[in-house]
Amino acid sequence: MAIVVQKRDYSITGPENKRAQEKGLATAEWYTSPIPRAKMKELMKRRNGPAIRDTIIWFGGLAILGYLAFLSWGTWWAIPAFLAYGILYATPGDSRWHECGHGTAFKTPWMNEVIYQIASFMVLRSATPWRWSHARHHTDTIIVGRDPEIITERPPVWRILLMQIFHLYGGPVEIKRFILHTFGKLEAQEKEYIPESQHNKTFWEARVYMLIILAIIGACVYAGSILPAMFIFLPSFFGGIVVITFGVTQHLGLYEDVLDHRLNSRTIYMNPILRFLYWNMNYHTEHHMFPMVPYHALAKLHAEMKDDCPAARPGLWAALKEVVTALRKQKHDPAYVVVKPLPSTARPYMYGIEHDLNIKVEA
């Protein structure tokens, strides 16, 4: 008996998009844990204080590490110094981009927008296209053919995951998009989720990005050194290791094509330093189920709904082990997923459709 794996098309302009719509998986109603409205209102409340404090710490930390890195330039100490600077540049860059994109980090809308624009450039993501891409990711989380933010398909493409340690897969893709946008063009998949009214904004943002990049290149030529680019632009590459480490733990190894975030998202307990870098996105199931709850209230939200969820992973290492093990199994058995039992207090999982293991068994 041979197992024949049907390779799926993960692009959002391919046949899987239509299939997801036909199966009722697109823009569907998702499971939500029962939380009293009064408690939910309390959790959703916006504040400026925590995000202002964290932003000061972040930029203050970048200034200190940047100065140390500058002093170390030309010595072997530059390697750990720039690595630390790069990690502090890219990791909060990613999480601040994310949370400010949702508009929940600060109470004051313009503060979200300013940090969103800065962080978008820092992590080399076009601000407007990624806002729409991420909206789709929330509408159709890990629905094949609909979600443009699935990190890797099944069977996993290890090359992509390994390249992303230094942002060498996503980085060039984004730079190619900047160039395309600068000339007033969009990729076919971007047209699928960015409304026409937002196209001009996309093009102008890309032109600003390109001007900044050209200015950095000019500064390097003028200085006769790559040092200026080591502080802006290149850190999104050499500082990418924690971004991809966090990223792979969010959904990989879990279910595709379900309508219950408890099945396709992973919550992990982390220490305060990692939670600061990640802005509490380790509570990923909670974030997806209730995206209007700001990062500073996610731990409280977790406490409210944990009896309705599978057990959180006890730490980042445990989560990574789970992901890597699952991906290795998916290499040979793409239908493999980590199945997590629910506590007796929880409501049953909502699969949404009769789960298609997507495997043909031939005699």
Interacting residues toward another protein by CB under 8 A: 27, 37, 40-41, 44, 46, 102-104, 109, 128, 131-132, 135, 138-139, 195, 197-198, 290-292
Measured in degrees and rounded to the nearest 5, phi and psi for residue 229 equal -70, -20
Classify 242 as helix, strand or coil: helix
The least distance separating another protein from the CB of residue 18, rounded to whole angstroms, comes to 18
Q: Pick the closer one to another protein by CB: 132 or 231.
A: 132
The least distance separating another protein from the CB of residue 122, rounded to whole angstroms, comes to 20
Q: Pick the closer one to another protein by CB: 103 or 145.
A: 103
The least distance separating another protein from the CB of residue 71, rounded to whole angstroms, comes to 42
Contacts for 227 with CB less than 8 Å, ≥ 6 apart: 70, 73, 220
Place of tokens 């890195």: 69
Query: Exposure pattern of 268-297 as b/e (b: 16+ CB <10 Å)?
Result: bbbeeebbbbbbbbbbbbbbbbbeebbbbb
H-helix or E-strand spanning residue 361: strand 359-362
The least distance separating another protein from the CB of residue 24, rounded to whole angstroms, comes to 13
Q: Pick the closer one to another protein by CB: 102 or 266.
A: 102
Q: Pick the closer one to another protein by CB: 55 or 128.
A: 128
Between CA 251 and CA 172 the distance in angstroms is 23
Output the six-digit token pair for 183: 């000339």
Q: Pick the closer one to another protein by CB: 2 or 37.
A: 37
Between CA 56 and CA 137 the distance in angstroms is 30
Q: Pick the closer one to another protein by CB: 15 or 109.
A: 109
Bridge partner residues of 4 (DSSP): 360
Q: Pick the closer one to another protein by CB: 40 or 299.
A: 40
Query: Exposure pattern of 322-348 as b/e (b: 16+ CB <10 Å)?
Result: bbeebbebbeeebbbbbebebeeebee
The least distance separating another protein from the CB of residue 203, rounded to whole angstroms, comes to 16
The least distance separating another protein from the CB of residue 270, rounded to whole angstroms, comes to 24
Contacts for 39 with CB less than 8 Å, ≥ 6 apart: 304
The least distance separating another protein from the CB of residue 37, rounded to whole angstroms, comes to 8
